[in-house]
Amino acid sequence: MLVSLILWMDWNSSFTLLFLITTLWLGMVGGYDDYLKLKFKNSKGLSAKKKFLFQNLCALVVALYLFFLKSLMYSVRDLGCIRRLLKWCRIQVES
């Protein structure tokens, strides 16, 4: 997946960088879990609470990035398909 990301995705897009960072973050959590399983030769690895914490931390960072980044925040009037849907539902939209 990372090879296709590197070869074919638009590197100027913030979504590409977000996708890359998310993939690497979750891959490192999984890799560390596997490392602990191999190191101690048992199936325990990283505890479920820690895995859940790291995955939720990643999700929180992604959510905050998407919510607060001004270049990704669109108003309803900028999204044509949503505007047409709102007009179809007879909801007034400012121009």
Report pTM.
Answer: 0.67
- For residues 51 and 86, what is the distance between their CA atoms, to the nearest angstrom? 41
pLDDT for 68: 74
Residue 5: pLDDT over 60: yes
Of 89 and 51, more confident:
51
Start-to-end Cα distance in the chain: 41
Lowest mean pLDDT among 14-18, 35-39, 82-86: 82-86
- For residues 22 and 1, what is the distance between their CA atoms, to the nearest angstrom? 12
Give 56-71 pLDDT, tens digit per residue.
Answer: 999 999 888 887 765 4
